[in-house]
Chains A and B, each alone.
Chain A
Amino acid sequence: MVEDLLHSQPGILNFGIFFLLATVLLLVILGFVTYAILAERKVMGFMQLRQGPNQVGGRWGLLQTVADVLKLLLKEDTIPKLADKPLFILAPVIAFAPSFIVIAAIPFTDKLQFADLNIGLLYYIAISGLTTIGMVTGGWASNNKYALLGGMRAAAQMISYEIPLVMSVLGIILLTGSLNLNDIVAAQENVWYILLQPIAFIVFIIASVAELNRVPFDLPESENELVAGFHVEYSGFRWAFFMLAEYVYMFAMASLTTVLFLGGWLPLFSFLDFIPGAVWFALKFMFVVFLLIWFRSTFPRIRADKLMEFAWKILLPIALANIFLTAIIKEILKLF
């Protein structure tokens, strides 16, 4: 559908349709962020013997996040006197914009995808790296020592973990022979890549948690050491932008995991294909999100220097070995 529109003559009508679709997607993502935060608080509450939000919006706290966001909107906009003002204002935008841009390439079902790029996977990985620039900028512009340390940690962490992340998906690319996310899902018709590439899956999950800056890899903002890390001076809506970026990335990363390893919109067994693809996608997606929340309530934070060691000395060699293994097995299977 989108593909046809892309190739049609430019005009008011298809601009309108595009604009509308983008707005719908934006609302879906914002809705997800709203309820992902609520889900995170509820699930963590459940794991930690607490109630979680239960006042605003009924006993499930359905409007808690809405109230939180409204409060953030109404907050006074403070910029430290000695901060680098233009950069300070720009940083949340730099951090937040790429998080939405990457969503365009993700196929939610075989029909619902905004840009069917041939280099979809590469596009995702390249764009998502940009967010770190926003974090470093924010850390630098705040003119605060904790923020600076947080920003530097963010940069170091990105460099360390982007590489194993890319290396871990190379195995999949070898198997599929394509960087197109649609092709990758289609290739999982018979068996999901989580079974064919279990090592890659583990490396990918670890590296993606690190990319998301979530526990146990939430070093850039580790609140017990650096108070709040790179966004220590941010408040109100600027701070909300950083948080929004973080949760949109959670959305994007969980979607990508689903697409790469869990067969995207494909059903668990082929006789279950009367259930729409979107439902399957949502189920798998929610499983990944739950996994991320589970991590958060279980693990302590890893140490900054160990983090680097872990990425370069353990994850990267494993990912590389996985590539060789995949290539060799693939060639051997070709002989028969």
Chain B
Amino acid sequence: MLRTEEMLLNVGPQHPSTHGVFRLVLKIDGETIVEAKPVIGYLHRGTEKLAENLQYTQIIPYTDRMDYVSAMTNNYVICHAVETMMDIKVPERAEYLRVIAMELGRVASHLVWFGTYLLDLGATSPLLYAFREREMIINMLNELSGARLTFNYMRVGGVKWDAPEGWIDKVREFVPYMREQLKGYHTLVTGNEIFMNRVKGIGTYTKEDALNYSLSGANLRCTGVKWDLRKDEPYSIYDRFDFNVVTRETGDAWARYHCRLDEIVESLKILEQACEQFPAEGEILAKVPKIIKAPKGEAFVRIESPRGEIGCYIASDGKKEPYRLKFRRPSFYNLQILPKLLEGETIANLISILGAVDIILGEVDG
């Protein structure tokens, strides 16, 4: 046997495929990974600590910057937590606007994942096709909220702006268009032999592992666990829509890919129904006091973000700022399983595995 030496390889924080400033310290033997150590915190901004000195409405823009690919769900989780504490009834129209905005955000988020994942695997074109559709969503959300990424759209008790005229029709038209484009994605990517080689059987874990590592979202559902908070603990008005929870059995990157693409289809179903049921008129903001003071006590809410379960815990001592705020950030929890998955894999597989987890560094580092 030839004597080989282990080599220490630093992947990141500046690396094209770590999706931001994620760092992995790898011990490699040739191209085989012996040990992987994730290092996080390069994008830590102390959102939770900052929030302790901010009024509730002022916290909302900070949540935009956590998961910047799907800011709407983050907006929602903090508003939802405060509403739960204060027992505020959100007007119907506002709920629909929220759901439409969140589902559009989910589609956009999965599109970004699809594009960047394929880019990680070396295919350049799918990114641009995905971003063409995402651009339409971003433009719609821009019309709604006045921002393209950091929306700051939702407020405690409702939403900030009403939908502009004809906006709902735009969403309605987008649904069949997106369905058509998805077919194109499948033709270009899903059936590609090289792509299947890169993802099938890669980064496989079992149902038990997924639960033990507290994975959520598509990372959990790819193992066959049917768990989606929109169905299992319906919040907002999700109990009014007819959609399926997408699951796959194999638990590999291939399953995660399919889960995410099929979730786009389910989101489109929700969008279609929401546009149908959308109330013609009504309030968009409930009657809430000018300065929001959550009553003394604590609350924890959780919702389904595109990346998994995002939770928000608020401990209040009755002041206008929270005493303590904590976000359960799904990317952070989903990342935990990475060292276990990477052991014994090659560097090429590292990219397929890391990409399939779908992390957003703003969320991991908080």
Residues 111-155 of B, flagged 1 when their CB comes within 8 A of A and 0 if not, give: 000000011111111001100100000000000000000000000
- Chain A residue numbers with a CB within 8 Å of B16 are 223-224, 227
Interchain CB contact (< 8 A) of A300 among B118, B128, B129: B118
Contact of B125 among A149, A297, A301, A304 (CB under 8 A): A297
Per-position contact with B for A298-314: 1 when CB-CB < 8 Å, else 0?
11111111100000000
Asked whether any CB of chain A lies closer than 8 Å to the CB of B195, the reply is: yes
CB atoms of B197 and A224 under 8 A apart = no
Say yes or no: is B348 at the interface (Cβ < 8 Å to chain A): yes
The answer to whether residues A300 and B121 also contact, given A48-B128, A225-B351, A306-B197 and a CB cut-off of 8 A, is yes
- In this assembly, does A50 line the interface, its C-beta being within 8 Å of a C-beta of chain B? yes
Choose from B30, B120, B122, B346 the contact partner of A218 (Cβ within 8 Å). Answer: B122
Q: By CB atoms of chain A within 10 A, which of B122, B194, B195, B198 has the most? A: B122
Question: Are B346 and A304 interface neighbours, CB within 8 A?
Answer: yes
Taking each of B15, B119, B189, B194, which has the highest tally of chain A beta carbons within 10 Å of its own beta carbon?
Answer: B194
B9 at the interface (CB under 8 A from A): yes
Q: Which residues of A contact B233 (CB under 8 A)?
A: none
Q: Contacting B194 at CB < 8 Å: which of A44, A48, A149, A216?
A: A216
| Across-interface contacts of B132 in A (CB, < 8 A) | 49
Cβ of A296: which chain B residues have Cβ within 8 Å of it? 124
Return B135 CB to nearest CB of chain A, in Å. 10
Does A44 contact B124, Cβ atoms closer than 8 Å?
yes
**Would you give the shortest CB distance from B142 to chain A, in whole angstroms?**
20
Residue on A nearest B348 in the bound complex, by CB:
A303
A44 to chain B: closest residue by CB: B124
A303 to B349, CA, bound (A): 8
| Residues of chain A with a CB closer than 8 A to B9's CB | 145-146
Asked if A297 and B122 sit within 8 Å, CB to CB, the answer is no
Provide the residues of chain B in CB contact with A297, threshold 8 Å. 124-125
Task: State the CA gap A306–B217 with chains docked (Å).
Answer: 30
Structural contact, B118 and A227, CB atoms closer than 8 A: no
Q: In the complex, A49 Cα to B351 Cα: how many Å?
A: 26
Question: How many CB-defined contacts (below 8 Å) exist between A and B?
Answer: 79
Complex-state Cα separation, A296 to B118, whole angstroms:
13
Q: Is the CB of A301 within 8 A of B347?
A: no
Q: How far is the CB of B203 from chain A (nearest CB, A)?
A: 13
Which among A149, A297, A301, A303 has the highest number of chain B CB atoms within 10 Å?
A303
**A224 with B120: CB separation less than 8 A:** yes
Contact flag A227-B15 (CB < 8 Å), given A48-B124, A48-B128, A49-B129? yes
Q: How far is the CA of A216 from the CA of B195 in the complex (A)?
A: 10
Let me know if A301 and B122 touch, CB within 8 A: yes
Residue B220, interface by CB 8 Å: no
A-side contacts of B17, CB under 8 Å: 224-225
Q: Which residue of B lies closest to A297 (CB)?
A: B125
Distance of A192 Cα from B190 Cα, bound (Å): 35
Q: For the complex, what is the distance from the CA of A216 to the CA of B120, rounded to whole Å? A: 13
Q: A201 to chain B: closest CB distance in Å?
A: 19
B346–A300 contact, CB under 8 A? no
Is residue A30 within 8 Å, beta carbon to beta carbon, of the partner chain?
A: no
Contacts of B349 in A (CB 8 A): 303
Q: What residues on A are CB-neighbors of B120 within 8 Å?
A: 224
- B347 CB contact (under 8 Å) in A49, A216, A226: A226
Also in contact, A298 and B119, with CB within 8 A (given A50-B128, A304-B31): no
* A215 interfacial by beta-carbon distance below 8 Å: yes
Instruction: State whether A224 and B119 are in contact (beta carbons under 8 Å apart), knowing that A44-B124, A304-B31, A304-B348 are contacts in the complex.
Output: yes
Q: A303: nearest residue on chain B (CB-CB)? A: B348
Which of chain A's residues have a CB closer than 8 A to the CB of B346?
303-305
Q: Considering the complex, which residues of chain B in the window 319-366 have a beta carbon less than 8 Å from any beta carbon of chain A?
A: 346-351
- By a CB distance below 8 angstroms, the chain B residues around A109 are none
List, in ascending order, chain A residues with CB within 8 A of B211's CB: none
A222 within 8 A of B: yes
Task: Write out the residue numbers on chain A whose beta carbons fall within 8 Å of the beta carbon of B122.
Answer: 215-216, 218, 222, 224, 299-301
Residues B347 and A298 in contact, CB atoms below 8 Å apart: no
Residue B188, interface by CB 8 Å? yes
Greatest chain A CB density within 10 A among B123, B132, B346 is at: B123
A227 to B9 CA separation, bound complex (whole angstroms): 12
A219 to chain B: closest residue by CB: B348
Chain A positions within 8 Å of B31 at CB level: 149, 304
How many angstroms between the C-alpha atoms of A310 and B195 in the bound complex? Answer: 14
Residues of A within 8 A of B54 (CB): none
Min CB distance, A80 to chain B, in Å? 16
Q: Quote the shortest CB–CB distance from A284 to chain B (angstroms).
A: 26
A149→B10 CA distance, assembly (Å): 13
Please state if A299 and B347 are interface contacts (CB–CB under 8 Å).
no
Interface check B50, CB cutoff 8 A: no
6 extra interface residue pairs, beta carbon distance < 8 Å, beyond A224-B121, A303-B349:
A49-B129, A149-B347, A225-B348, A298-B188, A301-B194, A302-B198
Identify 7 residue pairs between A and B in the complex whose beta-carbon atoms are under 8 Å apart, listed by A's number: A48-B128, A48-B129, A49-B129, A224-B122, A226-B347, A300-B189, A305-B346
Shortest Cβ-Cβ A-B pairs, 3 listed: A301-B122, A300-B123, A300-B121
Q: What residues of chain A have their CB less than 8 Å away from a CB belonging to chain B?
A: 44, 47-50, 145-146, 149, 152, 215-216, 218, 222-227, 296-306
